Amino acid sequence: MLTRKKVYIFTLGFNSTQIIKLLGEKGLGPRDVIVVVTSPQDHPRTDSALKSIHEFIEKINPRANLTREKLNDTNLLESAIQLSKKILQYRQQGYMVIADISGGAKGLSLSLFIAASVSGADEIYLASEITGERVQLPRIPEPQKLTRRQLQALAILPATLRETAERLGISKPAASRLLKRMRANGIVSLEKDKYYPTAWGSLLKEINGK
């Protein structure tokens, strides 16, 4: 029986212990992928932790693929959008997605938790900083579903009310009601007569569009 291929997505700071421990417990197949998410700034201790992970992978299964993603650790939702895209791509390719948010900057850990939750990761883990005990986290509730019209609106923004109505082929009152509902739900924002997708709206668009 063919074992389902896995992708591990970890946030990494200066310590590789939890990552290596989880890889050892879950196992590593020849088609598996390890994605390590770090802050954009290079640091010798992060490089050392990455080296330890690479050496461990070389010992147990050198055919597994290790990649590094440098993401903004201050823009939570923007990083969540990027991670969500990656998770959805792996799921479409048939991977089992396992996320661990134990290491790295708190902003990146939260971004990965949001992305893993709303994008349907199979397992999400967090280890205690004190005891090292790992627990499997529940996913946050399923995010709101966007209507076809809301997805169409997000695709043509930024735009004014008039431009939105014209591009969607609907009346201005209908466009006004649509944008008002979307704004109330935090999906779009209004700045100087123009509507823009919020970071949350962009994340929902990515998830609902798959």
Pull the structure tokens for residue 131.
């005891």
| 130 pLDDT tier (thresholds 50, 70, 90) | low
DSSP for 104-115 reads S-HHHHHHHHHH
* Distance in angstroms (rounded) separating the CA atoms of residues 115 and 33: 18
Query: What does the pLDDT look like over 14-36, one tens digit per residue?
Result: 999 989 999 999 999 889 999 99
Domains and CATH numbers, the chain: 6-136 (3.40.50.11700), 148-208 (1.10.10.10)
Closest residue by Cα to residue 61 from 99, 35, 32, 18: 32
pLDDT at 139 over 80: no
Query: What does the pLDDT look like over 149-191, one tens digit per residue?
Result: 999 999 999 999 999 999 999 999 999 999 999 988 888 888 8
pLDDT at 192: 86
With contact defined as beta carbons under 8 Å apart, do 79 and 108 qualify? yes
